[in-house]
Amino acid sequence: MSMLKKVPVICMMLVVASSFAAVEKDPLSPDPDAIKRWQDMRFGMFIHWGPVSLTGHEIGWSRGRETPVDEYDQLYKKFNPTEFNADQWVRVAKEAGMKYLVLTTKHHDGFCLWDTQQTDYNIMHSPFGRDVVKELSAACKKHGIAFGTYYSTCDWHHPDFPYTSRRGDRKEQYNLDRYTDYLKAQVKELITNYGPLVTLWYDVPQAFDAARGTGVISHTRSLQPDILINNRTGADGDYDTPEQRVGAFKRQRPWETCMTLCRQWAWRPNDDMKTLKECIQTLLQTAGGDGNLLFNVGPMPDGRIEPRQVERLREMGRWLKIYGDTIYGTRGGPYMPGKWGSSTCKDDKIYLFVMNWPSEGPLSLPALPMKITKSIVRTGGSVNLTPAAEVIELDGAARDQNPIVTVIELTVDGKAFDIEPIPTFKSESVAFGKPAKSSNVYRQRPDYGPAMAFDDNSQTRWATDTGTTSAWLEVDLGRAMTIHRAMIDEGRFNRVRKYELQYKVDAGWKTASAGTTLGPEKQLDFPPVSSRYFRLHILEAVEGPTIWEIQLFESK
């Protein structure tokens, strides 16, 4: 008789049970329920604050730039934000419709906003002498807002960290292992004393390679198994963090756009502030891409969030009070975002956010593979829906009801999320979607690769490494074409100082058009030239050139 038959069943069950228990969770994989909870929240508040607010300059970056290092590092001795009220900050976030909050507990300047035992360079040694992280964590718990902490991976103040700035001035003496232990000890304090945290938001992993970053992730997850960790430890982490731009449509990996309400992360007097339209449309484009939006405020040196920023956030909250069901708990798509707008979905509902109606005629979107059983215009007015075979056309009085966005709710006869994402742009550019290559890509990251300049997506761009002053970007049209017009969009970057648009002939590259600066949506008209290969050759740039889009138009 086999051994198996002799083993009492109960003993077998114990063996099976213990083997399951023994299967360790992979510390590099996030808890899927935590990811869903976080994605369902969709909208959070980012807060960049510290003694630097006394200067009105940028946190971290201004150390040794606008403010001499010695002066910057003494600011905390004057920092006494007596108007700081954690409840007030959290109430502003809540009234804005934000569901989570992430505070810079330690930025690149190394100053700590909590009662850390690892260094005296912290808030308890300032005239203020109160534990800001503790008070904010408690206020979030009280008001039902999830609390997360930003913790800068780099630390230009710490003696063991190798660099003294973003530009990479390396110190003579440093000890990265000892600094990593310091980082881990502080992260343990943050999670143990102020958690549970929705996320540990690391930043600028200078000197941290993937191995070291992986160790930081394992350490963090060991302290709180369902914590979420971003992609800035030096390793991939749980979610991507496109910054100051709406990320590209992506369902297969979580992502979160981090963006400033004004221009600077930390408070700056009279800083430019985004309009309500820009704020709302950014949220809709982000959610439509299946991403979260972490929207930043920089409180003032007295501890208050600037009243005009509070009012802007309250305006967003008033919009979300009416239409929040089209954002919270939804997924991006099925229509992919474009200049027209974006869409989200939940159960049998699809929400269309039309931000730019055609100047004439209806808005045409590709037909859905499901039947539309009902359609209503949530923002008022009516819409004629003609679901023809290949397109659905939307037209009617709805278009001018709301200056920010027209919200149309479609009900379909199935689960909307099951619909394969649908591209919504038909580009006239012959370069759209064609194979591309370039001389340099920012940190070799595909989300900044050459293809991003030929995807007709105004949210993605080709970028080059910091310090790059010349580069080229080439497209293969697949066959020889006669081209007479191009559009090159550098947006507001304005880094190019000399360029040539070239086409390849047997003898090499010839110039179709040449100039100095590009800027937003530069139109180039030139005598028709024929080739299969075209390239933008940037001969001179003041900083790493970056191009949002290149379009090439064929002579008919």
Task: Kindly state whether residue 431 participates in binding ligand FHN, applying the rule CB under 6 A.
Answer: no
Distances in whole angstroms, Cα of residue 515 to Cα of each of 197, 440, 530, 546: 51, 21, 20, 16
**Nearest approach, Cβ of residue 416 and ligand FHN (Å):** 32
Task: Kindly state whether residue 203 participates in binding ligand FHN, applying the rule CB under 6 A.
Answer: yes
Task: Kindly state whether residue 243 participates in binding ligand FHN, applying the rule CB under 6 A.
Answer: yes
**Nearest approach, Cβ of residue 102 and ligand FHN (Å):** 10
Residues in the chain: 556
Task: Kindly state whether residue 59 participates in binding ligand FHN, applying the rule CB under 6 A.
Answer: yes
**Nearest approach, Cβ of residue 527 and ligand FHN (Å):** 43
Nearer to ligand FHN, 228 or 258 (CB): 258
Distances in whole angstroms, Cα of residue 103 to Cα of each of 35, 124, 199: 20, 17, 11
Q: What is the largest CA-CA distance in the chain?
A: 90
Q: Are 216 and 230 in contact (CB under 8 A)?
A: no
Q: Distance between CA 251 and CA 418 in Å, rounded?
A: 12
Nearer to ligand FHN, 243 or 325 (CB): 243
**Nearest approach, Cβ of residue 185 and ligand FHN (Å):** 22
Candidate list 112, 207, 258, 430; residue touching ligand FHN; CB under 6 A = 258
Q: How does DSSP assign 59-116, residue by residue?
A: TTTTBTTTB-HHHHTTGGGG---TT--HHHHHHHHHHTT--EEEEEEE-TT--BSS--
Nearer to ligand FHN, 163 or 499 (CB): 163
Within 8 A by CB and 6+ apart from 81, the residues are 53, 128, 299, 300, 301, 302, 303
Task: Kindly state whether residue 261 participates in binding ligand FHN, applying the rule CB under 6 A.
Answer: no
**Nearest approach, Cβ of residue 46 and ligand FHN (Å):** 7
* Percent of residues in the chain assigned helix, strand, coil, to nearest 5: 25, 30, 45
What residues between 342 and 381 interact with ligand FHN by CB under 6 A?
none
**Nearest approach, Cβ of residue 237 and ligand FHN (Å):** 14
**Nearest approach, Cβ of residue 216 and ligand FHN (Å):** 17
Nearer to ligand FHN, 47 or 392 (CB): 47
Nearer to ligand FHN, 60 or 337 (CB): 60
Nearer to ligand FHN, 204 or 276 (CB): 204
Candidate list 30, 60, 110, 317; residue touching ligand FHN; CB under 6 A = 60
Task: Kindly state whether residue 65 participates in binding ligand FHN, applying the rule CB under 6 A.
Answer: no
Nearer to ligand FHN, 49 or 340 (CB): 49
**Nearest approach, Cβ of residue 294 and ligand FHN (Å):** 8
Nearer to ligand FHN, 262 or 550 (CB): 262
Q: Distance between CA 533 and CA 553 in Å, rounded?
A: 13
Candidate list 182, 265, 462, 472; residue touching ligand FHN; CB under 6 A = 265
Q: How far does CA 333 lie from the centroid of its chain?
A: 17
Nearer to ligand FHN, 86 or 258 (CB): 258
Residue 75: φ, ψ to 5°: -55, -35
Nearer to ligand FHN, 265 or 340 (CB): 265
Distances in whole angstroms, Cα of residue 415 to Cα of each of 377, 412, 480, 531, 554: 20, 8, 44, 46, 41
Task: Kindly state whether residue 256 participates in binding ligand FHN, applying the rule CB under 6 A.
Answer: no
Task: Kindly state whether residue 204 participates in binding ligand FHN, applying the rule CB under 6 A.
Answer: yes
Closest by CA to 319, choosing from 294, 356, 283, is 283
Q: Distance between CA 548 and CA 556 in Å, rounded?
A: 26
Q: Distance between CA 473 and CA 450 in Å, rounded?
A: 7
**Nearest approach, Cβ of residue 186 and ligand FHN (Å):** 17
Nearer to ligand FHN, 60 or 449 (CB): 60
Q: Is 60 left (phi over 0), alpha (psi -120 to 50) or beta?
A: left
> Site size for ligand FHN, by CB under 6 A?
7
Q: How does DSSP assign 227-286, residue by residue?
A: -EEBS-SSS--SBB--BSSPPPP-SSS-BEEEEESSSSSS--TT-----HHHHHHHHHHH
Nearer to ligand FHN, 59 or 552 (CB): 59
Q: Distance between CA 313 and CA 86 in Å, rounded?
A: 17
**Nearest approach, Cβ of residue 166 and ligand FHN (Å):** 7
Q: Distance between CA 166 and CA 205 in Å, rounded?
A: 10
**Nearest approach, Cβ of residue 257 and ligand FHN (Å):** 10
Residue 520: φ, ψ to 5°: -70, 125
**Nearest approach, Cβ of residue 150 and ligand FHN (Å):** 7
The three-class DSSP label of residue 40 is helix
Q: How far does CA 185 lie from the centroid of its chain?
A: 28
Interface contacts to ligand FHN, rule CB under 6 A = 59-60, 203-204, 243, 258, 265
